Amino acid sequence: MSAVPAVAATADHAAVATQGIAISGVTHEYRPPRGRPVLALDDISLDVPEREFIALLGPSGCGKSTLLYLVGGFMPLQQGSIVVGGRPIRAPGPDRGIVFQNFALFPWKTVRQNVLYGLEKRGIPRDERLHRAQHFIDLVHLTGFEDSYPSQLSGGMKQRVAIARTLATEPDTLLMDEPFGALDAQTRTIMQDELLSIWRRSPTTVVFVTHDVREAVLLASRVAVMTARPGRLKEIVDTDFGEADSAEVQRSREYADKVDYIWSLVREEAIKAGAGGHL
């Protein structure tokens, strides 16, 4: 697999990064209609090589989702630059698929229609569209629920639909905004395993936003820890466990050490953010 080591910004690395994501000098301020502007991101620079699974970790309000939305092109970039696959970001596009915590399914569309939506937009012929949609519905184990509406599904199933919908358009980059945050513990564990196995079979660049240290360490090859508001990069920690089975990884000494270490980094930030230890 693509065990890209965490490299400092060297000349060689910059060349690799043009195929992945190159974030440099990104500063972002929220300007509420009333009240003072809030600095959400302060001079963030981060290179994510192609096919790397990176987690953005930090306390609530640290701007990790903001950074993800900027990479997605959903909000205008105020300062700095973001280059994905060699192209500067201007708007959302199907090269960067997104999965939100609240699933963001079209509630008036069935599972199949949701998954088909992006394929229709790409102008894929009807037969291939249906074939591909079915493939991704099967991949996320929703065979038999093709004609159900989101309101008839559980939270875990809804998130599977959202993942299938995003994967179906085969984006080069997968942006995930606390995708398992709204799920119960058991469902979350199952979804983490499935995401990891999908990613191992066909690795794409993944930017995974979470506030869950264990989840970040388990899934990502690198974890970028952010400071509390304003969001800055505190440290990037290598958390690659190779192809090992996730249950095995979670029992290992290395995993426990990484979790402890990252937890010590974020605890301080979480307290600063006033979360009282809750990440």
Partner 1 sequence: MTAGLLLSRAMPLVILALAWEAAARSGMVSEYALPSLSSIAASFVKLAGSDLYYHTARSIWRGLLAFVVAVPLGIASGILIAWFLPVRILLKPVLQCLYPMPKSALIPLTIIWLGIGDASKISLIFLGTLVPIVMSAFNGARGVDQTLLWTARSLGATEREVLWEVVVPAALPEIMNGIRTALALCFILMVSAELIIANDGIGYLINLLGEAGDYAGMFAGVITISAIGFAADRACVALTRWLLAWRE
268 vs 41, 107, 191, 263, 279, CA distance in Å? 18, 40, 29, 9, 10
Locate 6 and state its tokens.
Answer: 């965490």
Q: Could you give the CA distance from residue 88 to residue 23 in angstroms, rounded to a whole number?
A: 10
- By DSSP bridging, strand 79-84 and strand 21-30 are antiparallel
- Judged by CB under 8 A, the residue of 27, 42, 80, 117 near partner 1 is 117
Q: In the numeric block, which tokens belong to residue 26? A: 């990104």
Near partner 1 in 192-211, by CB under 8 A: none
Give the amino acid at 130.
L
91 binds partner 1 (CB under 8 A): yes
Contacts to partner 1 from residues 130-149, by CB under 8 A? 149
Residue placing its CB nearer to partner 1 in the complex, 83 or 236 = 83
Q: Which is nearer to partner 1, 147 or 268 (CB)?
A: 147
Give the phi and the psi of residue 60 in degrees, each rounded to 5: -55, 140
Binding string to partner 1 for residues 152 to 171, with x set by CB under 8 A, is what? x------------x---x--
Query: 68 and 226 in contact (C-beta within 8 Å)?
Result: no
Shortest CA distance to 213 belongs to which of 250, 174, 159?
250
Shortest reach from residue 175's CB to partner 1, in Å: 8
Among 20, 118, 179, 231, binds partner 1 (CB under 8 A): 118
Question: For the window 95-114, what string marks contact with partner 1 as x by the rule CB under 8 A?
Answer: -xxx-x-x-x-xxxxx----
* Strands in 104-171 per DSSP E: none
Number of residues that bind partner 1 (CB under 8 A): 29
Residues that bind partner 1 (CB under 8 A): 69, 72-74, 91-94, 96-98, 100, 102, 104, 106-110, 117-118, 121-122, 149-152, 165, 169
